């Protein structure tokens, strides 16, 4: 274990699960597949002296392979998949008169908060699982089939910017969609950095490598999930296409970017006004929810159609598993790294990802199909802290 930087007497040790990954790698029976989250790539470099926001995606893939991992995947791929599922769910609710606003649910801290403190909002929650959980479900089904591997011989791990993700993998029985735990282990960015150092790997000298197929390639829309407003922007890029069958004239939506605690924007899709809002940091989320509840309880039109919520200020780039000393300056630099990565991506809309198209064609059918629902969607339950 590593002494927490925050405990003055060293009595509290940071949880360290790195041995579990090493044990899986050393087990010749297991095929180890590891995914990395969007926000990890703009922060892990800090542990090796690089500036916040430096993009090190290729070096992380490389480091994982040198640690002995069998397949390197990218959570960004499933971020694209989340957009297909959640975007379709949104368009269905919008056109068929479902409960609005639709609220994003890829942040497990927010899901836990909602189930404990505001279960009246459960009908508003997107049933789409987080990208990490979708990636885990596909790893043990679609990928396992393609490789001819029994799923119990696959060890699926995820590198996340987030400590809550360690809880999410066992949150509900839906997280066992493949018939067993879909993601076996979560390591934080800090844990991976520690593992790389302890293994004597010279991170900065590593060549840039590519992720493995067929669930590794991603678009710029998948990347920006790591920044506050990113899920919304990625969803908007695809929602326009899902509604109209045509591409939107612009790719970027500046109105949803930035660090304001609550941001809102109105845009028009096919002559229909679409109101969206973003909140990050739980105090801001509470204020936004109260606004939504007030309209609901007064029987008025919902103030928004689609809402993105992230528990951490700035989004996952500033998650609890990232390198320490996260000031707003660091947050802004990491966010700039996310947008730069998107900017340099050849494809920037989730629905244009050829591997996403392939997974629907060969395996899932259509977004929100029965198969998608059983593998990629979940349920929420009130979990009150006290019984009244």
Is the Cβ of residue 110 or residue 142 nearer to ligand SF4 in the bound state? Answer: 110
Nearest residue relative to ligand SF4 (C-beta) = 319
Piece in contact with ligand SF4 (CB under 6 A), picked from 27-35, 119-127, 250-258, 310-318: 310-318
Q: Out of 311, 338, 359, 376, which residue is the one contacting ligand SF4 (CB under 6 A)?
A: 311
CB of 376 to ligand SF4, least distance (A): 17
**Near ligand SF4 by CB under 6 A: residue from 53, 315, 337, 367:** 315
List 45, 52, 161, 214, residue binding ligand SF4 (CB under 6 A) = 161
Q: Out of 79, 183, 276, 312, which residue is the one contacting ligand SF4 (CB under 6 A)?
A: 312
Measured from the CB atom, the residue of 75 and 88 that comes closer to ligand SF4 is 75
Q: Which is nearer to ligand SF4, 189 or 353 (CB)?
A: 189
Considering only residues 78 to 137 of the shown chain, the ones binding ligand SF4 according to CB under 6 A are 107-109
Q: Which stretch binds ligand SF4 (CB under 6 A): 8-16, 75-83, 145-153, 304-312?
A: 304-312
Task: Check residue 316 for interaction with ligand SF4 (CB under 6 A).
Answer: yes
Binding to ligand SF4 by residue 42, rule CB under 6 A? no
162 binds ligand SF4 (CB under 6 A): yes
Among 164, 188, 353, 378, binds ligand SF4 (CB under 6 A): 164
- Stretch touching ligand SF4 by CB under 6 A, among 134-142, 156-164, 240-248, 282-290: 156-164
Query: Can you give the three-state secondary structure of the chain, one letter per residue?
Result: CEECCCCCCCCCEECCCHHHHHHHHHCCCCEEEEEECHHHHHCHHHHHCCCCCCCCHHHHHHHHHHHCCCEEEEHHHHHHHHHHHHHHHHHHHHHHCCCCCEECCCCHHHHHHHHHHCHHHHHHECCECCHHHHHHHHHHHHHHHHHCCCHHHEEEEEEECCCCHHHHCCCCHHHHCCCCCCCCEEEEHHHHHHHHHHCCCCHHHCCCCCCCCCCCCCCHHHHHHHCCCHHHHHHHHHHHHHHHCCCCCCCCCHHHCCCCCEEEEEEEECCEEEEEEEEECHHHHHHHHHHHHHHHHCCCCCCCCEEEEECCCCCHHHCCCCCCCCCHHHHHHHHHHHHHHHHCCCCCCHHHCHHHHHHHHHHHCCCCCHHHHHHHECCCCCCCCCCC
Interaction site with ligand SF4 (CB under 6 A): 107-109, 161-162, 164, 310-312, 315-316, 319
């Amino acid at each position: 274990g590593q002494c927490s930087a925050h405990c003055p007497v060293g009595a509290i040790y940071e949880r360290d699960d790195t041995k579990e990954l090493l044990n899986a790698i050393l087990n010749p029976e297991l095929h180890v597949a590891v995914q990395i989250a969007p926000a990890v790539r703009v922060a892990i470099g800090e542990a090796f002296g690089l500036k916040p926001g430096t993009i090190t995606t290729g070096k992380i893939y490389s480091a994982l392979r040198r640690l002995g991992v069998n397949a390197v995947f990218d959570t960004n791929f499933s971020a694209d998949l989340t957009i297909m599922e959640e975007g379709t769910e949104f368009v269905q609710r919008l056109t068929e008169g479902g409960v609005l606003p639709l609220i994003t649910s890829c942040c497990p801290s927010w899901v836990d908060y909602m189930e404990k403190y505001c279960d009246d909002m459960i009908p508003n929650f997107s049933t789409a699982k987080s990208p990490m959980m979708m990636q885990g479900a596909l790893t043990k089904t679609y990928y396992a089939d393609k490789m001819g591997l029994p799923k119990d011989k696959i060890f699926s791990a995820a590198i996340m910017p987030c400590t809550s993700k360690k809880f999410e993998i066992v949150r509900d029985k839906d997280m066992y969609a493949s018939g067993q735990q879909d993601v076996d282990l979560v390591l934080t960015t800090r844990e991976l950095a520690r593992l790389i150092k302890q293994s004597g790997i010279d991170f900065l000298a590593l060549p840039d490598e590519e992720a493995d197929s067929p669930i590794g390639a991603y678009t710029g829309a998948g990347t920006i999930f790591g920044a506050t407003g990113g899920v919304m922007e990625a969803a908007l890029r695809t929602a326009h296409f899902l509604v109209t069958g045509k591409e939107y004239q612009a790719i970027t939506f500046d109105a949803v970017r930035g660090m304001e605690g609550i941001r809102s924007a109105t845009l028009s899709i096919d002559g229909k006004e679409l109101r969206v809002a973003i909140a990050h940091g739980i105090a801001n989320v509470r204020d936004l929810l109260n606004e939504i509840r007030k309209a609901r309880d007064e029987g008025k039109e919902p103030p928004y159609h689609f809402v993105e919520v992230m528990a951490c200020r700035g989004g996952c780039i500033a998650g609890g598993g990232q390198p320490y000393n996260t000031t707003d300056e660091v947050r802004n630099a990491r966010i700039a790294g996310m947008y730069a990565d998107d900017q340099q991506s050849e494809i920037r809309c989730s629905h244009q990802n050829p591997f996403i198209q392939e997974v629907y064609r060969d395996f899932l059918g259509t977004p929100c199909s029965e198969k998608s629902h059983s593998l990629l969607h979940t349920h929420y339950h009130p979990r009150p802290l006290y019984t009244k």
